[in-house]
């Protein structure tokens, strides 16, 4: 075997296919093997390799093991005289492999080499030739001096920017996106250091190659294109921080004796500052609507101060009101679900405004004159009611009438609806065509998912993966909308998927077939003849969860405190005894609870039997109203909410509900939950006793 090529892939199947095709052209006439190590991609990479390239050796990982560990898996089974680590997001020239092999034949002291690497725009990718990041080399890069003065040797050593990119030179290191070395090198120094999850492992390997006595060369006689960062941008970590952490590991490992304390401080401060900037950026990106609302509330209060007949003289009072009302309004909006999914709902914004005003009015009446004047409160409320729903309506108007471009920064920041269509059948194609022709609604189609892998594109959109991996697919592609088609997914399919996605920040919509299918409470958005029904669970709203828990907590505490002194003695005197029992909890969890049972096995009253379970409600393992209370057997069925002393299906008297009925009652309860519904179910359960 002349050469073995190892490619580590992670969710870049389109780039990988292109890379393999260009690689096979370059390997034509050369005895070779190609090994692809897939780091648990969810985009169908493994299926594509098996179907289109059956001759390739495929290693499938069940998790993302990182670049170094995956490379080692391929290196261990490789049998080539030369070994090449190649990124999946590359495209190589037809003469690249032969040119590099000829170079190794002509330069016997070369242990490893890399070729010229270009960015997609044709510019030189600086990482293709580097120096080791000793403190004096790395500091100019960290401080940005290498970018400002690239041609000065003192500042440009890290990427050798002062060297001519067309000169063949000996270097410290080359890029891991194209790293070719002899088998004798691998046999002596073995594989990559798996301490480096991503970034730095190529630097470390080159350092070890040079330590072992070989030289490393940059060969500009052939080139490849590297679409840099395609795999990394889909990862769940900050690439900048990961890069500098890898540099930190490298410097500590190889320059421990000369490791500078000042360099350590600068490096760690860089990581800290980058982390803070990254967190702020992510927060603003995820909560941009909340940020706009905050500015609108403050503007409304300040304007109200100047518009009322008798302006408040003390501006500190206005400032305190602004902070108080801002926190109250944002908290109310969040509790009713306004910010759970970057929602532009003007109706919810209006409801939040009214609720905040009522709460402020009550607070002001209780603490009369302590916070602000009633006039200022009323003026602020009127302006908030104008601004908050108003800017949403205005923005949607601009979008629907195509006054602002869907590709503008404003539209992409606030109005872009990154959409995945679930279902590759005829209905999925129909929806995609409609959404494409109505760009004013802001839908940006990312691709399709389905129950099984599809190896072809639909209407030019990629197949992103199967619904079992939908949570990860949503994270990778930053999707905000999922549209389900009912020709490919049954009611039960959709409900089960919705349950798995309940903690994911994404809007769920279905397209009814023949307009006969609507789940629970929902809002309808019509695009020509396609009604999009938005589905959500009220029980998952923060405000509803909080109220339900407070209700359970206070009522169980009150009942235990007020009734235990006579209920427990009565039960023990009438032939009951305590018994511990294991029950099935939410999401398959098992918990232990205490109940009363009759010593002689005679009929026991349910109200007495379940009285000790009030303690399980108090500690949060159960609820007064919820799913069916079942003995511990996770194979019976999966409970989607906490078990309760009673529930919707327990109230049915006409027939004994089957499993499908129980699941339907459970879904209806979760979708339509409110504190009033809990109280109503409890009262009906008590009246039936």
Q: Using the predicted structure, report yes or no on whether residue 205 has a pLDDT greater than 50.
A: yes
Q: What is the pTM of this model?
A: 0.66
Higher pLDDT, 515 or 6: 6
Q: Using the predicted structure, report yes or no on whether residue 465 has a pLDDT greater than 60.
A: yes
Higher pLDDT, 506 or 28: 28
> Domains (ranges, CATH) in the chain?
3-128+165-229 (3.90.550.10), 288-400 (no CATH), 416-536 (3.40.50.720), 542-688 (no CATH)
Q: Summarize pLDDT for 498-510 with one digit per residue, the tens.
A: 777 877 878 888 8
Q: Using the predicted structure, report yes or no on whether residue 86 has a pLDDT greater than 90.
A: yes
Contact 294, 330 (CB under 8 A): yes
Give the residue-averaged pLDDT of 448-454: 88
Highest mean pLDDT among 230-234, 349-353, 387-391, 615-619: 615-619
| Contacts of 180 by beta carbon, 8 Å cutoff, 6+ apart | 82, 83, 84, 85, 100, 104, 112, 113, 114
| Contacts of 168 by beta carbon, 8 Å cutoff, 6+ apart | 217, 218, 219, 220, 221
Per-residue pLDDT band for 654 (boundaries 50, 70, 90) equals: very low
The β-bridge relationship of strands 481-485 and 463-466 is: unpaired
Model pLDDT, residue 73 = 95
Q: Summarize pLDDT for 247-260 with one digit per residue, the tens.
A: 777 767 766 665 66
Model pLDDT, residue 340 = 65
Give the residue-averaged pLDDT of 345-368: 79
Lowest mean pLDDT among 62-76, 362-376, 478-492, 512-526: 512-526
Q: Using the predicted structure, report yes or no on whether residue 455 has a pLDDT greater than 70.
A: yes
Q: Which two tokens stand for residue 263?
A: 């360099």
Give the residue-averaged pLDDT of 49-62: 94
Higher pLDDT, 441 or 310: 441
Model pLDDT, residue 519 = 40
Q: Which two tokens stand for residue 525?
A: 């958005």
Q: Using the predicted structure, report yes or no on whether residue 267 has a pLDDT greater than 80.
A: no
Lowest mean pLDDT among 499-513, 605-619, 620-634: 499-513
Model pLDDT, residue 97 = 96
Model pLDDT, residue 556 = 92
Q: Using the predicted structure, report yes or no on whether residue 174 has a pLDDT greater than 70.
A: yes
Model pLDDT, residue 307 = 75
Q: Using the predicted structure, report yes or no on whether residue 521 has a pLDDT greater than 50.
A: no
Q: Using the predicted structure, report yes or no on whether residue 431 has a pLDDT greater than 80.
A: yes
Nearest to 131 by CA among 155, 147, 149: 155
Q: Using the predicted structure, report yes or no on whether residue 228 has a pLDDT greater than 80.
A: no
Model pLDDT, residue 520 = 39
Q: Using the predicted structure, report yes or no on whether residue 518 has a pLDDT greater than 50.
A: no
Model pLDDT, residue 338 = 77
Nearest to 360 by CA among 319, 312, 326: 326
Per-residue pLDDT band for 168 (boundaries 50, 70, 90) equals: very high
* Helices 239-254 and 201-211, packing angle to 10 deg: 20
* % of the chain at pLDDT higher than 90: 27
Mean pLDDT of the chain: 81
Higher pLDDT, 82 or 650: 82
Give the residue-averaged pLDDT of 152-162: 84
Model pLDDT, residue 442 = 73
Q: Using the predicted structure, report yes or no on whether residue 653 has a pLDDT greater than 60.
A: no
- The residues that bridge with 444 in the sheet, in sequence order, are 418
Q: Using the predicted structure, report yes or no on whether residue 371 has a pLDDT greater than 60.
A: no
Per-residue pLDDT band for 343 (boundaries 50, 70, 90) equals: low
Give the residue-averaged pLDDT of 417-435: 88
Model pLDDT, residue 516 = 38
**Is 262 buried (19+), middle (13-18) or exposed (0-12) by CB count in 10 A?**
exposed
Give the residue-averaged pLDDT of 487-513: 78
Q: Summarize pLDDT for 534-585 with one digit per residue, the tens.
A: 676 778 777 788 889 999 999 999 999 989 888 899 888 888 889 999 999 8
Contact 421, 487 (CB under 8 A): no
Contact 520, 668 (CB under 8 A): yes
Q: Using the predicted structure, report yes or no on whether residue 231 has a pLDDT greater than 70.
A: no
Report DSSP state, residue 586.
B
């Amino acid at each position: 075997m002349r050469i073995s090529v190892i490619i580590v892939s992670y969710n870049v199947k389109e780039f990988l296919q292109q890379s393999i095709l260009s690689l096979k052209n370059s390997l034509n006439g050369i005895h070779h093997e190609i090994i692809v190590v897939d780091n648990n991609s969810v985009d169908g990479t493994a299926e594509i390799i098996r179907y289109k390239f059956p001759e390739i050796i495929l290693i499938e990982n069940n998790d993302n093991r990182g670049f170094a560990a995956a490379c080692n898996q391929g290196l261990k089974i490789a049998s080539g005289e030369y070994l090449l680590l190649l990124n999946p997001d590359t495209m190589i020239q037809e003469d690249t492999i032969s040119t590099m092999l000829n170079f190794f034949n002509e330069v016997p002291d070369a242990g490893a080499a890399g070729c010229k690497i270009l960015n997609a725009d044709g510019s030189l990718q600086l990482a293709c030739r580097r120096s080791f990041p000793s403190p004096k080399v790395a500091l100019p890069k960290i401080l940005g001096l290498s970018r400002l003065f690239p041609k000065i040797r003192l500042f440009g050593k890290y990427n050798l920017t002062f060297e001519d990119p067309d000169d063949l030179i000996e270097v410290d290191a080359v890029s891991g996106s194209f790293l070719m070395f002899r088998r004798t090198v691998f046999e002596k120094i073995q594989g990559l250091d798996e301490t480096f999850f991503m970034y730095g492992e190529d630097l470390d390997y080159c350092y070890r190659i040079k330590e072992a006595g070989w030289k490393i060369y940059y060969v500009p006689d052939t080139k490849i294109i590297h679409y840099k960062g395609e795999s990394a941008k889909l990862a769940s970590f900050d690439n900048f921080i990961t890069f500098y952490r890898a540099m930190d590991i490298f410097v500590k490992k190889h320059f421990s004796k000369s490791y500078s304390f000042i360099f350590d401080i600068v490096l760690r401060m860089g990581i800290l500052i980058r982390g803070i900037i990254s967190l702020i950026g992510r927060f603003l990106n995820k909560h941009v609507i909340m940020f706009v609302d905050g500015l609108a509330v403050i503007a409304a209060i300040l304007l109200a101060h100047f518009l009322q007949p008798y302006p408040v003289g003390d501006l500190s009072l206005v400032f305190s009101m602004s902070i108080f009302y801002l926190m109250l309004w944002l908290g109310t909006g969040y509790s009713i679900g306004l910010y759970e999914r970057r929602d532009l709902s003007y109706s919810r914004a209006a409801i939040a405004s009214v609720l905040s005003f009522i709460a402020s009015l009550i607070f002001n009446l209780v603490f009369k004159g302590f916070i602000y004047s009633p006039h200022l409160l009323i003026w602020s409320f009127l302006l908030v009611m104008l601004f908050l729903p108003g800017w949403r309506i205005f923005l949607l108007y601009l979008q629907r009438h195509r006054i602002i471009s869907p590709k503008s920064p404003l539209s992409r920041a606030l109005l872009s609806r990154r959409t995945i269509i679930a279902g590759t059948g005829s209905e999925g194609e129909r929806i995609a065509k409609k959404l494409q022709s109505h760009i004013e609604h802001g839908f940006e189609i990312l691709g399709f998912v389905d129950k099984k892998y599809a190896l072809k594109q639909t209407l030019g959109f990629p197949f992103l993966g199967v619904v079992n991996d939908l949570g990860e697919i949503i994270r990778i592609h930053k999707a905000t909308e999922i549209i389900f088609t009912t020709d490919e997914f049954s009611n039960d399919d959709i409900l089960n998927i919705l349950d798995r996605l309940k903690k994911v920040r994404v809007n769920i919509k279905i397209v009814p077939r023949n307009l006969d299918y609507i789940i629970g409470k929902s809002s309808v958005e019509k695009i020509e003849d396609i009604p999009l029904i938005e589905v959500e669970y009220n029980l998952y709203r923060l405000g509803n969860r909080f109220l339900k828990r407070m209700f359970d907590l206070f009522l169980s505490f009150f009942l235990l405190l007020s009734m235990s002194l006579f209920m427990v003695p009565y039960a023990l005197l009438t032939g009951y005894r305590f018994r511990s029992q294991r029950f099935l909890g939410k999401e398959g969890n098992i918990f232990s609870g205490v109940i009363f049972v009759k010593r002689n096995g005679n009929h026991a009253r349910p109200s007495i039997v379940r009285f000790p379970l009030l303690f399980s409600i108090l500690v949060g393992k159960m609820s007064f109203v919820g799913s069916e209370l079942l003995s511990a057997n996770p194979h019976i069925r999966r409970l989607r909410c906490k078990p309760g002393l009673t529930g919707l299906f327990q109230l049915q008297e006409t027939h004994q509900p089957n499993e499908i009925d129980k699941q339907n009652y459970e879904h209806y309860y979760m979708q339509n939950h409110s504190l009033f519904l809990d109280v109503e179910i409890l009262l009906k359960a008590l009246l039936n006793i």
